[in-house]
Structure 1
Amino acid sequence: MQDISIMSLIFTAALTLVCLFLILSPFFKLGSLNFHFHKSGQEFTSTKEALLTTLNELEFEYKMDKISAVDYQHLKKQYEAEITRIMKDEEQAAKSAVDSDIMAEVEKEIAAEMKNYKNKKGEGK
C-alpha cells in the first residue's frame, strides 16, 4: 500500500465518480422525464400555461446561446408533445362533460315520459 501515492488515490476516486455520473445522469435528466398529468378544468389550463411558459423560456435560452440546437430541438419536441396531449385531454374531458349532461337530460325525459305513460294507463282503466 506504500507504493500507491495519495495523488493516484485521488485520481482513481475522481475517475470513479465521473464514470458513475456518466452512467447515472440519463436517469435524472429533466428532459427525459415524461410528464403525465391527469387533471381537469382549471388544472389543465394552469399546467398548459406552465408548459407554454417553459417552452418560451427554452426558446429564449436557445436564442441567448445557453443551450445547444440539438438540446433545444429535443426539449421543444417533448414540451410540444406534452402540450398537445394536455389539449387532447381537455377536449376529451369537455366531451365527456357534455355527454354526461346530455345523458342526464335524456334520463329526465325518459322518467317524465314513463310518469306520463303510467298516468295515462291509470286513467284508461
Structure 2
Amino acid sequence: MEYAVSALLIGLCLYLVVQPFFASRKEWEVDTLKDDLDTMTLEQVYATLNELDMEYNMGKLPGNEYESLKAQYEKIAVSLLKEEAFLEVEQGDRKTRSEMEATYDREITRELEELKLQRKGE
C-alpha cells in the first residue's frame, strides 16, 4: 500500500515537471497586448522625464540607461503631441507638418524646463 502511494506521488510530481515541455506553445498577440504606456497622459510623460533627470543627476541611473529611457519617453511625448495636433487639424486649425514638429519640440522643451524649475523650487 505504501509503495503504491509513493509511486503515485512520484508519478504526479514527474507529470507536473515534464508536462510543460510537451504542452503546445501559446502565441502571444503583441498587437492586442496593452500596457501602462498605452494610456499615459502628456503630464505623466513629462513627470517621468523629470524623474529620470532627477535620478540621473543624483547618480542613481547610469548614463546609457538614462539616454535610452529618455529617448523612449520623448518619443511617447511626441506621439501624444502629434495626436493632439492632428485632432486640432481635423477640427480646422491648419498647419504644415514642419511647423507642427517645431511646435512639438518647443513645447516639450518648455514643459521640461517648467518641471525642472518646479523641482528646484520645492
TM-score normalised according to structure 2 size: 0.44
Give the number of the structure whose alpha-carbon radius of gyration is greater.
1
